[in-house]
Amino acid sequence: MKLARSGLFWKLGLTYFLLLIAVLGAVDFYAGRILRQNYIRAADERLNSLALIARSKPPNFGDEGALASWATWMSRSGARVTVIAFDGRVLADSAHDIKTMENHSNRPEFHQAMGSGEGESVRHSHTLNRDLVYWAIRFDRPSGPPVVIRFATPLAQINTALAEVRRKLWEASLIILLLAIGISALFSRRFARRVGQLKEFSQRVAIGDFRPLMQESATDELGDLARALNDTASRLSATISSLSDERNRSAAILRSMAEAIAVIDADEQIAFYNEAFAELWNLDSRNHVAQPAVSVIRHPDVLKLIRSALTGEEARGELSLGVAQPRHFSVTAATVFAISDTHANSENRESPAGAVVVFHEITEIRRLEQIRKDFVANVSHELRTPLTAIQGFAETLLNGGLEDKQNNRRFIEIIRNHASRLARLTDDLLELSKIEVGKQPMDPQAVNVTGLISSAVELAQDAASRKEISLNAIKPPVGLPFVRADARLLQQVLRNLLDNAIQYTPAAGCIEVSAERNGSSIVFTVADTGIGIPQVEHNRIFERFYRVDAARSREAGGTGLGLAIAKHIVEAHGGQIWVDSEIGSGSQFHFSIPLAT
Ligand code: ADP
């Protein structure tokens, strides 16, 4: 972070520095040039006016001595004076001995002066070994060839002046530079710190930390940027939190659904599944997302449904799993469409991106359907037997049986028995369906268990005595609490159990009715010493029309509904009914009823 800030600082500082150096260089260069030109122009003008003086007061060119002293006199102006003959010979020079001087015919100012009357040049003097500004004029003598009078002034002065200007310029620049460095250090440090804060903020936002930036009071672009970023982050945070709320809600709904659900992506890989799905396909606790659907759903029909949904066609089907206890499912595979913004207006805007497959368990529906079918078949069967008998004996009577004095009474008795069996059957069926659909009005009250048992025993006593069976109510423990029940219905349960006990107990047998407390319920028991019930039938005897020995039951006038009615009544009270029995060693029917609180 510190490196990044100083990086920005150095970049900005260096840029300023280079800019300053460039400006200074340019100023130095152009100022030098202008000063030099000005100086040369001034020197030219001075030398020109000297030339005018020289022209107005020419020397005696014929006399070498006079010429030399004229040159010396003219040089008092500060300029070097040289007189050169038309052929380049130096006739006089105020700064050098002419004898050692070379021919000057190749000097540019000499050439110009000879040609146009005036000549000028700025160059290094080999004679004096320094830079000079030369100004030369051609002097046409009245007699004899022309001569060139040349004036020169050294450039050293201008160089000194220039050096002075340059020194001042650089001094001032150095001060400006130091100031600029200081100011730019301050500025860029502040700038870098603010940029650093913005960078830190964007990194925070990238990892999901949407806490806002410190409010910037600055009104510059960086301040605007900070405010805009804050704004964006807070909007982003709101959007993300609403999206994640939405997602959590959907995930919670999908997870908690009883239906097994899985989402399959376009590559036929699992993208999501809920617990019910994992349980249905016996998946272990590892994460199976991104696994091929074919390795998880090992059923070709389901895979076919999924593939058809992946091509955009919703598909439904049914599935049965398991052999011993088959479970049935209705399976729906629906297409998930991806809406792409880029093709907002094109036709294939929605393309299949996956499939949602839902397994809805219908085992219970199938079971109930089966029960209904069995019930209808059983009822018709149960009704047909007495009806056929009634019909048969009625016809026998009509076809002369009435005149048969010996049998007609017996026939009519048979008809009456079957008719009363029909009546019992319809009564029981009616009772059962009333309880089943909840139409049987229940009047739950606190019921005294002892009283209930003794009245049930009393009512059954006659039937028991006829079969020479001893029927006893075992005195319940003192202080047995009351149960909360509909006394009439509970009485019916006891009556059904006692009827059966009497029915399936041979003469000289014994029946006992008892009750005891078990937790928050009273458990009633009707125990007999009868024929007993095989273990495998224990659950089934509570089903409608189920009988261990159908012929015997029918013969005894049983409808096969007694235990089914008892079970329904007990369960409607929130209790349970079960049997302990073995072939040949009697049966104990138990049922529990919750206590009255
Ligand atoms: P049913 O009208 O035939 O008695 P239930 O529903 O009352 O019909 O009983 C169903 C079957 O359970 C009977 O047919 C009988 O086989 C068996 N069962 C019921 N109670 C006893 C018992 N106490 N001893 C032996 N078998 C019994």
The string of DSSP letters for 115-163 reads HHSEEEEEEEETTTTEEEEEEEEEE--SSS--EEEEEEEESHHHHHHHH
**Pairwise CA distance, residues 283 & 293, whole Å:** 12
| Protein residue with its CA nearest to atom 11 in ligand 1 | 547
**Pairwise CA distance, residues 527 & 196, whole Å:** 90
Instruction: From 239, 223, 214, select the one nearest 191 (Cα to Cα).
Output: 223
Task: Tell me, in angstroms, the distance from the centre of ligand 1 to residue 461's CA.
Answer: 19
Task: Tell me, in angstroms, the distance from the centre of ligand 1 to residue 500's CA.
Answer: 6
Instruction: From 83, 219, 191, select the one nearest 139 (Cα to Cα).
Output: 83
Instruction: From 509, 496, 512, 527, select the one nearest 454 (Cα to Cα).
Output: 512
Q: Interhelix angle for 562-572 vs 487-503, to 10°?
A: 150
| Protein residue with its CA nearest to atom 2 in ligand 1 | 558
Neighbours of 38 (CB within 10 A): 12
pLDDT value, residue 9: 64
Residue to probe by mutation, ligand 1, list 503, 559, 568, 570, most atoms within 8 Å of CB: 503
The answer to whether the beta carbons of residues 264 and 291 sit under 8 Å apart is: no
Task: Tell me, in angstroms, the distance from the centre of ligand 1 to residue 81's CA.
Answer: 159
Neighbours of 237 (CB within 10 A): 16
The answer to whether the beta carbons of residues 213 and 198 sit under 8 Å apart is: yes
- Per-residue b or e along 353-369, where b marks 16 or more CB atoms closer than 10 Å to that residue's CB: ebbbbbbbbbeeeeeee
Nearest-atom number in ligand 1 for the CA of 500 is 20
Nearest-atom number in ligand 1 for the CA of 547 is 14
Distances (CA, A) of 206 to 195, 225, 234, 558: 16, 17, 13, 79
| Phi, psi for residue 535 in degrees, rounded to 5 | -50, -45
Q: Reduce the secondary structure of 479-511 to three states and give it as a string.
A: CCCCEEECHHHHHHHHHHHHHHHHHCCCCCCEE
Neighbours of 274 (CB within 10 A): 20
Neighbours of 447 (CB within 10 A): 19
pLDDT value, residue 195: 84
Structure tokens at 443: 């009047």
Nearest-atom number in ligand 1 for the CA of 554 is 3
Task: Tell me, in angstroms, the distance from the centre of ligand 1 to residue 547's CA.
Answer: 6
pLDDT value, residue 1: 42
Task: Tell me, in angstroms, the distance from the centre of ligand 1 to residue 555's CA.
Answer: 12
| Phi, psi for residue 596 in degrees, rounded to 5 | -80, 130
Task: Name, in order, each residue with C-beta under 8 angstroms of 78's C-beta and a sequence gap of 6 or more.
Answer: 153
pLDDT value, residue 202: 86
Task: Tell me, in angstroms, the distance from the centre of ligand 1 to residue 560's CA.
Answer: 7
pLDDT value, residue 340: 59
| Phi, psi for residue 59 in degrees, rounded to 5 | -85, 180
How does pLDDT run along the chain (597 residues), one tens digit per residue?
A: 444 455 666 776 677 778 878 888 888 888 888 888 888 888 888 888 888 888 888 888 878 888 888 989 888 888 889 999 999 999 899 888 888 888 988 999 999 999 999 999 988 887 778 888 899 999 888 888 899 999 998 887 777 877 887 888 888 888 887 887 788 778 878 888 888 888 888 888 888 888 887 766 777 888 888 888 888 888 988 998 899 999 899 888 888 888 999 999 999 999 999 999 999 999 988 888 999 999 999 899 999 999 999 999 999 999 998 888 889 999 999 999 876 555 445 555 578 889 999 999 999 999 889 888 988 888 888 889 889 999 999 999 899 888 888 888 888 999 998 999 899 889 888 888 888 776 667 788 999 999 999 999 999 999 999 999 999 999 888 889 999 999 999 999 999 999 999 999 999 999 999 999 999 999 999 999 999 999 999 989 998 888 888 777 777 777 888 999 999 999 999 999 999 999 989 999 999 999 988
Using CB distances shorter than 6 Å, the residues near ligand 1 are: 496, 500-501, 503-504, 528, 530-531, 533, 541, 546-549, 553, 558-564, 587
| Protein residue with its CA nearest to atom 7 in ligand 1 | 562
Nearest-atom number in ligand 1 for the CA of 526 is 23
Task: Tell me, in angstroms, the distance from the centre of ligand 1 to residue 592's CA.
Answer: 19
Distances (CA, A) of 347 to 311, 334, 344, 352: 17, 21, 9, 14
Global confidence as pTM = 0.49
Structure tokens at 358: 């839902």
Helix or strand or coil: residue 218?
A: coil
Q: Interhelix angle for 221-256 vs 156-206, to 10°?
A: 20
